[in-house]
Amino acid sequence: MADEDTTVRSAPAAPGSALLDEVTLVARAGDGDARAFEILIDWYQAAIFRYTYRMLGDRGAAEDVVQDTFVAVWRGLPGLAEPAAFRGWLYRIATRRAFDVLRARRPEVGLPMGTDEPVITVAAGISTAVDPAQLTIQRAQVQALQQALMTLPLQQRAAWSMQNLEGLSYDEIAVALSLPVSTVRGRIARARQSLAGKMWSWR
Amino acid sequence: MAVNDETRLGCGRPVEDVWATADLPPDAHEQTCPFCQDARHNLHELAEATDALVTQEAEAPEYAPDSRVKDLVMQLVHVEVRRGRPIPLVHPLEGTPPSLTISKQAVLDVIWRAADGMSGVRARHCQIELEAAAHKPGGPAVVSLGVNVAVAAGIPILEVTEHLRIRLQEQIASETGLSTRRINVTVEDLYDE
């Protein structure tokens, strides 16, 4: 997603001060700079929320995971050897916590989840579509995709979401899932095949 | 979907091969093959749905966490803020504890603000070492700094780092009273402005 592209983002750590990039903010937050850390929260909290909300299908649980994730990030930052690897590491913490919540709900985590999972549906419109018929089609497409996502095995769902909805690289997803890049590629390919295979049925 | 195993379509072509060229016009085989047409169509359908979901999530307030989430995290951060070990401002007389100290975090703040006031340089990780051997009893405490920086591409590195060194020395002396013995600046990255 373009708005999550960290390579072009910058922000002043204090009003009127120089613009700072992500690596600088991560390094400073690791040295205990609360202002730098707050900017990182501003940049990532919505993305981490969407990601975990998609995984869990529950607002309250997703907000708890977001909160736990950023607390763990704050405490873990001094030990992060490579600030440039921040995003993959952040998603790893969020993924592990989301998986923990799912494991607590049902023991068969890692196996394909049933279609009885709650599907996130949002009533808000998609403003880029002005034609009501087109809007209806888009809503149906989105709902079909959300339902299809919920039927994927957890790691496939997480990997596909991180690549296609969050804009993470294969390397970052490998860090997030603690898997080799080759395994991540395979999981995403299988996820894409499953999802594409299910998209014909939405009509 | 017309997939008879994990990777091959009914016509024998690997589905990944068909998808790899899905943005190009169909080749002669794909123009007539119902399996390949299905595979291409389904991938386009998935791409459209993905774009629509991204748009929906970016625009709908339901996809943003409550503001209390950040507030709670920041409350904890301020409670746990790592002050670091205290640095004596004045070298204590032998056998007496330091009577006046400054937190490492406060010195770091001075360093970062000093760097932020300059263009073309961004201060990152910093180390502060107390130079016990350089102390004169009753005089200002002496520290050495290690400052990692990123520098804007195209600007003279020696000039900007020397300027930073002078600025840090002055700011630390004027804001904390500490004396700096050595300031090592490490340029670890270049960035485009």
DSSP3 helix / strand / coil % (chain A, rounded to 5): 70, 5, 30
A69-79 pLDDT per residue, tens: 999 999 999 99
ipTM of the shown complex: 0.83
Report which secondary-structure segment, H or E, holds A37.
helix A34-56
* Cross-chain residue pair B63–A38, CB shorter than 8 Å: no
CA A56, CA B143: separation in Å to the nearest integer?
50
Top mean pLDDT of A89-93, B45-49, B61-65 is at: A89-93
What Rg value do the Cα atoms of chain B yield, rounded?
A: 30
A153-164 pLDDT per residue, tens: 999 999 999 999
CA A121, CA B68: separation in Å to the nearest integer?
23
CB-nearest partner of B1 from A45, A141, A197: A197
B140-183 pLDDT per residue, tens: 889 999 999 999 999 999 999 999 999 999 999 999 999 999 99
CA B1, CA B12: separation in Å to the nearest integer?
14
Residue among A74, A13, A84 nearest B115 (CA): A13
CA A57, CA A61: separation in Å to the nearest integer?
8
Q: Rounded to 10 degrees, what is the CA torsion of B137, B139, B141, B147?
A: -140
Residue with tokens 């060229």: B21
Fold of the CATH domain B87-191? Alpha-Beta Plaits (3.30.70)
B3-25 pLDDT per residue, tens: 444 578 888 888 888 888 888 88
Q: Please tell me whether residue B123 adopts helix, strand or coil conformation.
A: strand
Q: Which of B108, B113, B116, B149 to mutate to test the interface with A (most CBs of A within 10 A)?
A: B116
pLDDT given for residue A15 in this prediction:
59
CA B11, CA B4: separation in Å to the nearest integer?
9
- Say whether residue A20 is in contact with chain B using an 8 A CB cutoff: yes
> What does the domain layout of chain B look like in residue ranges?
15-84, 87-191
CA B103, CA B81: separation in Å to the nearest integer?
11
A95-118 pLDDT per residue, tens: 999 999 998 886 544 434 433 444
A153-194 pLDDT per residue, tens: 999 999 999 999 999 999 999 999 999 999 999 999 999 988
